[in-house]
Amino acid sequence: MAESGEPETTVDKREKEEKEANSTTEEISFRSLGVTEVLCEACAALNWTTPTAIQRESLPIALKGKDIIGLAETGSGKTAAFALPILQALLDTPTRLFALVLTPTRELAFQISEQFEALGSGIGVKCAVIVGGVDIITQAMALAKKPHIVIATPGRLVDHLENTKGFSLRTLRYLVMDEADRILNMDFETESAS
Ligand code: AMP
């Protein structure tokens, strides 16, 4: 029943649900989910005022270092949902070749790298994008500098693991499989496998 004593209509119900959803969202911040100050500042600099649904669900768990499988659409903020916990762990334990993000396409790899760089600009994070269609020697030189984060398409990464002297993933602490369904189906762009 609505407050007036009238039977509650579908519109009343929707209004109530939206009000509840909004009030919950307002209370939750990156800080309240456990994100450290310098990274909260990076989010604020990007004008991210509130965490998105996938961020609210995953950040508290991922920040504890637990494994996560997430399902969220493109544009839902899923990149930051994995980038923030990785950057926070990197702040705690600065290590070269700390995280690997596998992604099915070159385009996605560059987009992911941009977000890592934007969120990690205040902490000096170094990323390398390892994808097909780009000069392999230049990439080998980038890997030799031992970036903190490697964002790669699978085919080119395997190429470097087999042929680039001194490059290994032994120090890795975090592995992300972005769009894992596509990666596991080996359904990535032909050129990214080259
Ligand atoms: P993604 O789903 O990772 O491809 O993210 C899509 C877009 O959402 C990116 O351009 C991000 O800059 C943006 N974004 C991520 N998190 C937030 C947030 N909490 N608030 C506003 N925009 C965000």
Percent of the chain with pLDDT over 90: 77
> Number of folded domains in the chain?
1
Q: Is residue 1 part of a domain?
A: no
**Nearest protein CA to atom 15 of ligand 1, as residue:** 77
Q: Is residue 5 part of a domain?
A: no
Q: How far is the CA of 190 from the centre of ligand 1 (A)?
A: 28
Distance of alpha carbon 97 from alpha carbon 153, whole angstroms = 16
**Nearest protein CA to atom 7 of ligand 1, as residue:** 75
Cα within 13 Å of Cα(96), Cβ side: 8
CA 158 vs. chain centroid, Å, equals 22
Distance of alpha carbon 178 from alpha carbon 75, whole angstroms = 13
Q: How far is the CA of 191 from the centre of ligand 1 (A)?
A: 27
Cβ(2)–Cβ(12) under 8 Å? yes
Ligand 1 atom with minimal separation from the 111 CA: 4
Cβ(161)–Cβ(167) under 8 Å? yes
Cβ(114)–Cβ(149) under 8 Å? no
Cβ(156)–Cβ(132) under 8 Å? yes
Ligand 1 atom with minimal separation from the 76 CA: 2
What pLDDT sits at residue 133? 94
What pLDDT sits at residue 5? 56
Range of the domain at 33: 10-193
The two three-digit tokens of residue 78, written as one number: 């899923």
What pLDDT sits at residue 3? 46
**Nearest protein CA to atom 16 of ligand 1, as residue:** 77
The two three-digit tokens of residue 114, written as one number: 């941009």
Q: Is residue 61 part of a domain?
A: yes
Q: How far is the CA of 179 from the centre of ligand 1 (A)?
A: 16
Q: Is residue 4 part of a domain?
A: no
pTM as predicted:
0.84
Q: How far is the CA of 182 from the centre of ligand 1 (A)?
A: 21
Percent of the chain with pLDDT over 70: 85
Average pLDDT over residues 64-82: 95
Task: Report pLDDT digits (tens) over 112-150.
Answer: 999 999 999 889 999 999 999 999 999 999 999 999 999
Q: Is residue 2 part of a domain?
A: no
Q: Is residue 80 part of a domain?
A: yes
Pocket test of ligand 1: the residue of 47, 52, 103, 178 to mutate, having most ligand atoms within 8 Å of its CB, is: 52
Q: Is residue 81 part of a domain?
A: yes
Q: How far is the CA of 75 from the centre of ligand 1 (A)?
A: 6
Task: Report pLDDT digits (tens) over 18-68.
Answer: 666 555 555 899 999 999 999 999 999 999 999 999 999 999 999 999 999
Q: Which residue has the tokens 């493109």?
A: 74
Average pLDDT over residues 146-173: 96
Ligand 1 pocket list (CB less than 6 A): 48, 51-52, 55, 74-80
Q: What CATH number has the domain bearing residue 47?
A: 3.40.50.300
Q: Is residue 31 part of a domain?
A: yes
